[in-house]
Amino acid sequence: MVRIANDSPAAPGPTKAPPLSGEPFIPFAEPLREGVILARPNRFIMDVDFGEGEVVRCHCPAVSRIGGLDLAGRPCLVSDSHNPKRKMPLTVEAYSLAQPEDAVKPWIGINQNASNRYVEQFLREGALEAVTGPVSTVRREVPLGDSRLDFLVNDNLYLEVKTPLVQMQTEIPAYVPRLPEAPFNSTERSLRHLRELAASLETNERAVILYCLYYDNFGFRFYHGTTYDEVLATVDTCRAAGVELWQADFSVNPEGVALQACYPLEEW
């Protein structure tokens, strides 16, 4: 079994499946608005410049660091909840590593809060049958051990969704500044889910972790942080017990979210 540390941009990704026919698509309620990120004062907030002096404080739906990058000056896409009761009705859905003046901007989705919603819809539409097989029932937030896992499909497949953002699995242009390295070892929850998924196989047929990346990438790799060896040892044990690791690739544009491909992870 081959392991390649994900801090190397030259690391080859897994063999990807061909794009899905027709690319299943979830439209946004209305097209997203483009702006430029000015700052991320804390992990829940981004200040966005929409031009002509309009600067708005927006909700940031990514609970973790985003690639260890300073996103000031990066283009972004913003949704509007139209909910006057929300303190920040606008939400930053995606950003781009392109320059604001570039005509073409590949977008990187960051809405970890929405990821389960997208996966649920694609599950119910049968777009993830490569992972699950034919779907008859989908249950959300199912108790398992000391956790509540994201989905139980067909009453025999536990599926946990992860939307990793701590490190971007793509090339970073030289003009994008990096933030100072900070300790990151918040893996306890992920490792608990892995172990509980493995334990579920005593009574259920399958257990899957689905890593969802909302941008063009060279393949998911576990973050090479302070608990890297512990994570890989746990993954080894759980995969030996039958836990499956899959990746789903999505794309985001101002109109909506498309599911492009999904495939099992064989290297990490």
* Contact partners, residue 87, CB within 8 Å, separation at least 6: none
Q: Which amino acid is at 1?
A: M
Task: Provide the CATH topology of domain 112-264.
Answer: Trna Endonuclease; Chain: A, domain 1 (3.40.1350)
pLDDT category at 1 given cuts 50, 70, 90 is very low
- Per-residue pLDDT reduced to its tens digit, 5-25: 333 333 444 456 666 657 899
Same fold, 33-108 and 112-264: no
Look at the alpha carbons of 244, 249, 254, 256 in this order and tell me if their dihedral is positive or negative: negative
- Per-residue pLDDT reduced to its tens digit, 80-122: 999 999 999 999 999 999 999 999 999 999 999 999 999 999 9
- Per-residue pLDDT reduced to its tens digit, 248-261: 999 999 999 999 99
The CATH code belonging to domain 33-108 is 2.40.50.580
C-beta of residue 36 within 8 angstroms of C-beta of residue 75: yes
Domain boundaries, the chain: 33-108, 112-264
Closest CA to 210 of 159, 166, 259, 151: 159
pLDDT computed for residue 106 by the predictor: 98
pLDDT category at 267 given cuts 50, 70, 90 is low
